[in-house]
């Protein structure tokens, strides 16, 4: 009995010692877990230009941290609610909910019932008393299920909850008549619950000198911040005055509207100064986010918004993310990954953004104002320049057809116009660095530069074959050099990609992908027809094709999957035919296997070893989601292509070229046969480019665009050689 008691005492003593050890070890772990603090300050419906005034704390942020322009594109139309939801999902999302049904636990809902009862009725989930509730969560989930890619509303909040990171929401953009709290969409979990916070009308105070006679109670808001900051985690503070001031535009004069907006920004600046004093930026993180531009910005296509990041590990300069690879430019998809990265939480593959970091630079504000001006002008003027060019191609094709049938002796008058049509893609490439931001400036230099190339080509290269080789090789050479240098020309080209559209920010866009493949294949094959010692030229062409193929597929340069497939088909068919191979079924099988191996290597070997890119993101999504995710990606690309076929002007350009080529097969009789008999390598190039055209059309989400730009360098050279006949 005594031995038993001694044994029991030893067991109890051992348990006590173990408990003490665990207590010593666990508490620091918990303290470390909650010690990190990230603050997201939402100052909405402003643009970068609005911060040019006397706002010392915003300018202090520029001196301490990273500043950037943020793309705020969403799944459907631009709207504040879509923007807030996209910030929280990390993928473009949308909702018809207006943020007026985000309520504290005991607040009265639309039916006059407490929010907790309504929420439980809608979802079957019983909330806790401290929770903030998104009543529309079932509708939001349903709306985003219909997309052709995975969207999980509340993904950011869910990941933070799983990692036991506290989440707090403070503030609103209410008036006394209407609730407006879309910030809840950012940090709710997948059930539509925000752990804690205060968003009620107690944070407002009456002010007859403010929009809607209401103003944020900044003293109360700051005291709440001090209280909740001690708990660590993510703290989102929604300043509503800038929203109310911007929404008040239709109620007041222009002068009064300007006054209210500047007053709201001064209040925000003062509050920001208090935050900077209270935060320890050696370990905390502060980001200032604008989910939606001002009404004036929206009206003028000034759709990029300011973004600030300062704190632990953030270098002073530009905001930078691998999503855009462009210093000073990020997307709203990058915000959630930045928060998760700060808390050392694994970023889910469904989030298509990347963490934002600092990129060393000086005088960021002034340079970003200039960059934003250039981006807005590109976005606004893009259609104004491209549509006339495509229209010019269509009209030129129809006139060529009419002259061919009825006025053959007039065809030679079209030679300068055909040369111009082949020159303009190269002119577009360099135009962004030559012309200013004004549309008139761009048209002036477009015409001048095109005329110079036309005159040079028309008078120096009397033979159409040499003119074709010159134009094609200059164009493809310019694109290749630009790609090697990091695409500085394509980034500002009207035929490149614009950051507001947000389909692509780096690498090789589909317009220039088509131009590159088409001009390179035709240029090289025409050169082969011109030279006598073809055996010396073919190996050089093979090397050039190989270099270009690498540039198109490499995530460090082109990062264009559809372009990789198109280039493989165009280059391999062209090379095999030029070496005299007569195609049989076995050759198609070999090429198909080669293409499949290339894609596998690209996705499984090249992408993981390269910087984050479209390709590596696709790999991660397929790894996590399986074959169904791959199917969704294919469906999305086909859907996009179908929409573009119906609506883009490039469809008309492509059809015009195809109609003329089809007509030439019949009248005048045998004219194409004579041309191709005299220029056998050009014939090979046309077949190779035709294969590339077909593959681009099938495998690109904007395949009709790539096919149309590729056809420029098939159809227009044929037009020139028909004139010879």
**pLDDT tens digit sequence for 61-88:** 999 999 999 999 998 889 999 999 999 9
Q: d(Cα 317, Cα 325) in Å, to the nearest integer?
A: 15
Task: Pick from 107-111, 471-475, 589-593 the range whose average pLDDT is largest.
Answer: 471-475
| % residues pLDDT > 90 (the chain) | 65
Handedness of CA 207, 212, 218, 219 (dihedral sign): positive
pLDDT value, residue 112 = 83
Long-range contacts of 394-402 (CB under 8 A, 24+ apart): 394/652, 394/653, 394/656, 396/421, 397/656, 397/657, 397/659, 397/660, 397/715, 398/656, 400/660, 400/719, 401/659, 401/660, 401/663
β 204-206/214-216 pair status:
antiparallel
pLDDT value, residue 144 = 93
pLDDT digits (tens, 9 = 90+) for 345-388: 999 988 999 999 999 999 999 999 999 999 999 899 998 999 99
Give Cα 410 to chain centroid, integer Å: 47
Does the pLDDT of residue 24 top 50, yes or no?
no
Give the Å distances, CA to CA, from 212 to 102, 161, 172, 250, 482: 21, 36, 14, 12, 53
Segment 151-164 shows an average pLDDT of 96
Give the Å distances, CA to CA, from 554 to 149, 540, 592: 25, 21, 20
* CATH number at 31-362: 3.40.720.10
Band (600; pLDDT cuts 50, 70, 90) = confident
Q: d(Cα 115, Cα 168) in Å, to the nearest integer?
A: 18
Does the pLDDT of residue 607 top 70, yes or no?
no
**Nearest to residue 302, comparing CAs of 132, 44, 49?**
49
Q: d(Cα 324, Cα 330) in Å, to the nearest integer?
A: 6
Asked whether the beta carbons of 60 and 308 are under 8 A apart, the reply is no
Q: Collect all residues with Cβ–Cβ distance below 8 Å to 513 and sequence separation of at least 6.
A: 552, 558, 560, 562, 563, 566, 696, 700, 706, 709
Task: Pick from 63-67, 108-112, 665-669 the range whose average pLDDT is largest.
Answer: 63-67
pLDDT value, residue 630 = 59
**Nearest to residue 66, comparing CAs of 278, 368, 369, 357?**
357
Q: d(Cα 713, Cα 689) in Å, to the nearest integer?
A: 9
Q: Which two tokens stand for residue 353?
A: 């953004």
pLDDT value, residue 22 = 46
Segment 310-329 shows an average pLDDT of 94
Counting Cβ atoms within 10 Å, is residue 543 exposed (0-12), middle (13-18) or buried (19+)? exposed
Backbone angles phi, psi at 307, to 5 degrees: -140, 130
Band (589; pLDDT cuts 50, 70, 90) = confident
Does the pLDDT of residue 5 top 60, yes or no?
no
Report which of residues 20 and 674 the model is more confident about.
Answer: 674
Q: Which two tokens stand for residue 384?
A: 């104004």
Task: Dump the DSSP string for 94-132.
Answer: --S--STTEEETTSB-TTSSBHHHHHHHHHS-PPPTT-E
Burial letters 1-37, b for 16+ CB under 10 A, else e? eeeeeeeeeeeeeeeeeeeeeeeeeeeeeeeebeebb
Band (702; pLDDT cuts 50, 70, 90) = confident
Does the pLDDT of residue 502 top 70, yes or no?
yes
Segment 640-644 shows an average pLDDT of 65
Does the pLDDT of residue 641 top 90, yes or no?
no
N-terminal to C-terminal alpha carbon distance within the chain: 119
Does the pLDDT of residue 3 top 60, yes or no?
no
Q: d(Cα 192, Cα 153) in Å, to the nearest integer?
A: 8
pLDDT digits (tens, 9 = 90+) for 515-531: 999 999 999 999 999 98
pLDDT value, residue 25 = 43
pLDDT value, residue 33 = 45
Give Cα 88 to chain centroid, integer Å: 17
pLDDT value, residue 264 = 97
Does the pLDDT of residue 26 top 80, yes or no?
no
pLDDT digits (tens, 9 = 90+) for 185-226: 999 999 999 999 999 999 999 999 999 999 999 999 999 999
Report which of residues 267 and 432 the model is more confident about.
Answer: 267
Q: Collect all residues with Cβ–Cβ distance below 8 Å to 83 and sequence separation of at least 6.
A: 72, 74, 291, 292, 332
CB atoms within 10 A of CB 300: 13
Residue 348: cis peptide before it, omega within 30 degrees of 0: no
Segment 650-670 shows an average pLDDT of 86
pLDDT value, residue 532 = 76
Q: d(Cα 377, Cα 385) in Å, to the nearest integer?
A: 11
Q: d(Cα 2, Cα 383) in Å, to the nearest integer?
A: 95
Domain ranges of the chain: 31-362, 380-724
Does the pLDDT of residue 301 top 80, yes or no?
yes
pLDDT value, residue 666 = 79
Give the Å distances, CA to CA, from 161 to 71, 165, 167, 352: 27, 6, 8, 20
pLDDT value, residue 74 = 94
Q: d(Cα 666, Cα 664) in Å, to the nearest integer?
A: 5
Does the pLDDT of residue 643 top 90, yes or no?
no
């Amino acid at each position: 009995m005594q031995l038993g008691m001694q044994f029991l005492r030893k067991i109890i003593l051992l348990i006590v010692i173990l408990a003490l050890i665990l207590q010593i070890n666990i508490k620091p772990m918990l303290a470390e877990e909650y010690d990190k603090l990230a603050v997201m300050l939402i100052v909405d419906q402003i643009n970068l230009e609005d911060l040019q005034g006397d706002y010392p704390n915003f300018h202090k942020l520029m001196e301490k941290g990273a500043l950037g322009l943020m793309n705020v594109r969403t799944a459907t139309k631009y709207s504040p609610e879509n923007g807030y939801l996209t910030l929280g999902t990390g993928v473009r999302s949308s909702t018809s909910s207006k943020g007026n049904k985000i309520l504290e636990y005991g607040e009265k809902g639309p039916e006059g019932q407490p929010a907790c009862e309504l929420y439980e009725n809608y979802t079957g989930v019983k909330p806790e008393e401290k929770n903030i509730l998104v009543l529309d969560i079932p509708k939001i989930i349903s709306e985003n299920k219909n997309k052709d890619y995975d969207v999980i509303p509340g993904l950011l909040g869910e990941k933070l909850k799983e990692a036991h990171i506290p989440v707090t929401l403070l503030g609103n953009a209410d008036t006394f008549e209407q609730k407006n709290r879309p910030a809840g969409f950012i940090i709710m979990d997948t059930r539509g619950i925000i752990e804690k916070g205060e968003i009620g009308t107690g944070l407002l105070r009456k002010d007859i000198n403010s929009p809607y006679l209401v103003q944020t109670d900044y003293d109360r808001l700051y005291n709440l911040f001090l209280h909740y900051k001690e708990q660590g985690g993510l703290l989102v503070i929604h300043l509503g005055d800038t929203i109310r001031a911007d929404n008040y535009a239709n109620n007041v004069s222009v002068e009064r509207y300007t006054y209210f907006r500047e007053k709201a920004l001064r209040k925000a600046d003062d509050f920001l100064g208090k935050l900077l004093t209270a935060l320890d930026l050696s370990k905390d993180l502060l980001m200032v986010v604008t989910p939606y531009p001002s009404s004036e910005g929206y009206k003028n296509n000034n759709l990029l918004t300011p973004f600030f990041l300062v704190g632990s590990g953030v270098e002073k300069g530009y905001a930078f993310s691998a999503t855009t690879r462009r210093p000073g430019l990020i997307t709203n998809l990058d915000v959630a990954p930045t928060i998760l990265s700060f808390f050392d939480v694994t970023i889910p593959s469904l989030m298509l953004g990347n963490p934002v970091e600092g990129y060393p630079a000086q005088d960021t504000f002034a340079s970003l104002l200039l960059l934003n001006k250039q981006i807005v002008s590109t976005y606004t003027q893009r259609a104004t320049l491209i549509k006339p060019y495509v229209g010019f191609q269509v009209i030129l094709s129809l006139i060529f057809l009419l002259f061919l049938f009825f006025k053959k002796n007039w065809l030679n008058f079209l030679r300068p116009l055909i040369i111009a049509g082949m020159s303009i893609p190269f002119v577009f490439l360099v135009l962004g660095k030559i012309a200013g931001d004004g549309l008139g400036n761009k048209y002036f230099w477009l015409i001048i530069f095109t005329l110079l190339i036309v005159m040079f080509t028309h008078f120096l290269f009397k033979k159409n074959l040499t003119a074709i080789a010159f134009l094609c090789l200059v164009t493809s050479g310019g694109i290749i050099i630009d790609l090697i240098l990091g695409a500085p020309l394509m980034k500002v080209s009207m035929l490149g990609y614009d950051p507001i559209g947000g389909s692509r920010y780096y690498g090789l866009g589909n317009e220039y992908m088509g131009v590159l493949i088409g001009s390179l294949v035709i240029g090289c094959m025409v050169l082969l027809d011109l030279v006598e010692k073809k055996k010396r030229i073919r190996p050089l062409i093979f090397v050039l094709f190989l270099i270009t193929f690498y540039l198109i597929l490499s995530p460090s340069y082109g990062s264009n999957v559809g372009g990789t497939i198109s280039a493989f088909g165009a280059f391999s068919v062209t090379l095999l035919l030029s070496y005299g191979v007569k195609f049989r079924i076995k050759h198609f099988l070999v090429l198909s296997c080669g293409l499949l191996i290339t894609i596998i290597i690209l996705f499984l070997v090249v992408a993981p070893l390269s910087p984050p890119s479209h390709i590596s993101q696709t790999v991660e999504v397929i790894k996590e989601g399986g074959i169904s995710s791959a199917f969704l990606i294919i469906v999305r690309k086909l859907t996009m292509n179908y929409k573009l076929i119906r609506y883009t002007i490039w469809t008309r350009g492509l059809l015009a070229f195809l109609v003329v080529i089809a007509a030439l097969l019949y009248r005048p009789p045998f004219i194409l046969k004579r041309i191709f008999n005299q220029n056998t390598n050009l014939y090979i190039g046309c077949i190779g480019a035709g294969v590339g055209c077909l593959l681009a059309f099938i495998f690109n989400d904007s395949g009709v665009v790539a096919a149309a730009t590729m056809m420029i360098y098939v159809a227009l050279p044929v037009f020139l050689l028909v004139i010879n006949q």
